[in-house]
A and B are shown apart, each in its own frame.
Chain A
Amino acid sequence: MGTAMSLDEDLITTSQQVSVESKSPRELAIARFQRDRLAKWALFVIVFYLVVAIFAPLICSLLGISPYALDGKALNDFGLPKGSFGGISGAHWLGVEPGTGRDILARLIYGARISMLVGFLATLVTTAIGIIVGVVSGYKRGMVDAVIGRITDLTLAFPSLLLMIALTRPIIQRLESFGIPEGNTSRIVYIILILGVFGWVYVARIVRGQTLSLREREFVEAARASGAGTWRIVFKELMPNLWAPVIVTVTLAIPGYVATESTLSFLGLGMLPPTASWGAMLGDSVRYYRADPTYLFIPGIALIVLVLAFNVVGDAVRDALDPKGDRQNIA
């Protein structure tokens, strides 16, 4: 008996030795991600944007530019940038803002701070709420799930943009009366709050669906049978399997929230001047579309590049995490 078994094992090892090397699903996913050259570039772009946003004051002082300094000499008598392409020159690499002569590159760098801050914080809030609500709803089922489901339906029934716009002023006033500093702080808090109120639903629905199917799987049943508590099952068994869909939603949510911030700024409900945000720049540049089209494209291109980068990374992550990823299609 003993010899027969070892013989079998020998056979197996020799026949498979050549190609098979055991890898965990995570290692496989990382390997698949690294094979995607475009995705690596996109990840680099995101990190670059983050670094620029974090070290904005340092970078601007190294370059000798300021987002607030008015440069009247760069403007002509009509308040428009001198020279072609929106006043691009050695002193102002991306030109100057019409009307004020502020350096666009510096404003773009500082604007990245606000836009990224809003994008990341709003995503953090919506994702955190969405995961908790989704897991609870999917795992508990019954009454809890029904109640959460009705709240979800209610949230989805509202025209969110209209409410965001209509509630801006009153809620900001309310926030300020609670002692949150006036000006941009209360505005950032409001934007994140209102995006959180409407945004959690989408994450929660995805997580709930995933949880519903996961909780019936053998490994969860095994954990339950061996006496694991609800917390252990949720955090150790369910959570690790929820990352894939969550990461994909996150990569799509961040640029989406950056865009929402810009819409509110465009409507005059976002950051207060002279603070720079990409949204405020987009909204401002629109007024000079005829005289200074260059200004119109610069914040837009900055946003498009970020959006593209996040999308590429999101797609790559999804492809990398898909166990069927290497299967060939037949049709």
Chain B
Amino acid sequence: MFLFVVRRLFFAVLLLLAVSVVTYLLFSALPVDPAALTCGKNCKPDIIAANRIRLGYDKSIVEQYWLFLKGIFVGRDYGMGQAAFSCPAPSFGYSFAQHECVTTLIGRTFPVTAYLSIGAFIMWMIIGVGSGAIAALNKGKWQDRLANAFTAVGVSLPTFYVGLLVLFSVVIWLGILPFPDYVSPLEDPIKFLNAMILPWLTLAILSAASYTRLTRNGMLEAMNEDFVRLGVAKGLSRSVVLRKYVMRAAMVPIVTIAGLDFASLLGGAIITESVFSLPGMGKLAIRSVVESDLPVLVGTTLVSAVFIVLANVIVDIMYGVLDPRVRVK
């Protein structure tokens, strides 16, 4: 088991290295001159040239990538003399549009995205698994049909549309809540909840749908399994069979998807954060696209990738814990 974990982690690091190469090359190939973007419209050519050298864009792409990679582990210094500044490790570079280290920017926006993801995750698991179980226990009845319709709508409606419908209906048409205005939970928990409840709800509506389907189908499939028949045959009560046999078997695929979904949310919920104007990582990423702020774009992409890859490793390990048949190998 220990060896398995080590090997998975080793491959995860290799994968992330590959991701960083592809990301760096891809975004460096974009037709933008990062140095020209460092100062405003009436910028003199010699300032651009100086900035190009200071930020290292005069070097070859391989060298640039190497400096970038080194920066992640040991930090990075820019320029010399009075104009010098540095981004301590782990450094993803320096944002010339926002004049801050990328790591600082990510560090500031990440908590917002984390609150958003955790709240949404809890909500969609409760709604999704709950309605999926109800649908499975009432197969073919109206509850099942209702859950099915909910799934169908939730799975494929665009996020921005659901988000805006939620926002309009609750804030503008019904006027129950004020317009979301994000504050840190450490500052004002009530205001924080007011701002977060709608984005949570939006993500929950969208994601719960696929969990409803997964739970329902997983439970129905498990009910056909021999070990469930055995449980019934040896006289266990219905609720014990459902909880300990059916649910546990149905949870295996759900854990997989849930881990990956949660991880991809942690990388920034671009649309949801934009709709509800939450200052999270997704908003940061989209701003960097608009401003052609390459270092931020590379940084946010990489951080997202780290979450996804790590989640994959954790899911693989969880498999063994949940499903004893996997452990035997």
Contact = CB atoms under 8 A, between A and B. Distances in A.
A176 B18 CA distance: 29
Nearest to A314: B152
A293 B167 CA distance: 13
Nearest to A166: B289
A252 interface: yes
A163 B304 CA distance: 11
Interface string B150-171: 0111011111110011001000
Interface residues of A, number: 46
B153 A259 contact: no
Interface string B213-239: 000000010011000110010000010
Interface stretch (A76-84, A183-191, A215-223, A304-312): A304-312
A330 B232 contact: yes
Interface stretch (A21-29, A94-102, A282-290): A282-290
B301 interface: yes
Contacts of A153: 15, 309, 312
Interface in B16-36: 16, 18-19, 22-23, 26-27, 29-31
A157 B19 contact: yes
A307 B271 CA distance: 20
A156 to B, nearest CB: 7
Contacts of A304: 153, 157
Interface stretch (B89-97, B175-183, B262-270): B262-270
B157 A331 contact: no
B249 to A, nearest CB: 11
A331 B137 CA distance: 9
Given A166-B297, A304-B157, A307-B157, A159 B223 contact: no
B161 A300 contact: yes
B102 interface: no
Contacts of A282: 158, 160-161
B246 interface: yes
A158 B305 contact: yes
A296 B162 CA distance: 11
A327 interface: yes
A144 interface: no
Contacts of A293: 168, 173
Nearest to B222: A331
Given A150-B18, A158-B304, 15 more contacts: A153-B15, A154-B18, A157-B19, A158-B23, A158-B301, A165-B289, A173-B31, A258-B156, A266-B158, A282-B158, A289-B164, A293-B173, A307-B152, A310-B156, A311-B152
Given A162-B268, A263-B159, A156 B172 contact: no
A270 to B, nearest CB: 11
Interface in A153-199: 153-154, 156-159, 161-163, 165-167, 170, 173
Interface in B131-162: 139, 148-149, 151-153, 155-161
Q: Most B CB atoms within 10 A — which of A162, A255, A286?
A: A162
A324 B224 contact: yes
B164 A286 contact: yes
Given A154-B22, A259-B158, A331-B223, A315 B289 contact: no
B228 A166 contact: no
Contacts of B172: 289-290
A121 B80 CA distance: 54
A162 B304 contact: yes
B238 to A, nearest CB: 7
A329 interface: yes
Q: Most A CB atoms within 10 A — which of B151, B161, B168?
A: B161
Contact of A263 (B149, B158, B309): B158
A279 interface: yes
A303 interface: yes
Counting from the closest, the 9 A-B pairs by CB-CB distance are: A311-B152, A159-B304, A255-B156, A307-B156, A259-B158, A329-B223, A331-B223, A157-B305, A308-B152
Nearest to B225: A331
B19 A158 contact: yes
Interface string B287-319: 001000000010011001100110010000000
A170 B223 contact: no
Contact of B305 (A159, A167, A286, A311): A159
A314 to B, nearest CB: 9
A260 B160 CA distance: 10
A308 B139 contact: no
B30 A263 contact: no
Contacts of A126: none
Q: Most B CB atoms within 10 A — which of A153, A262, A304, A312?
A: A153
A256 interface: yes
B31 A157 contact: no
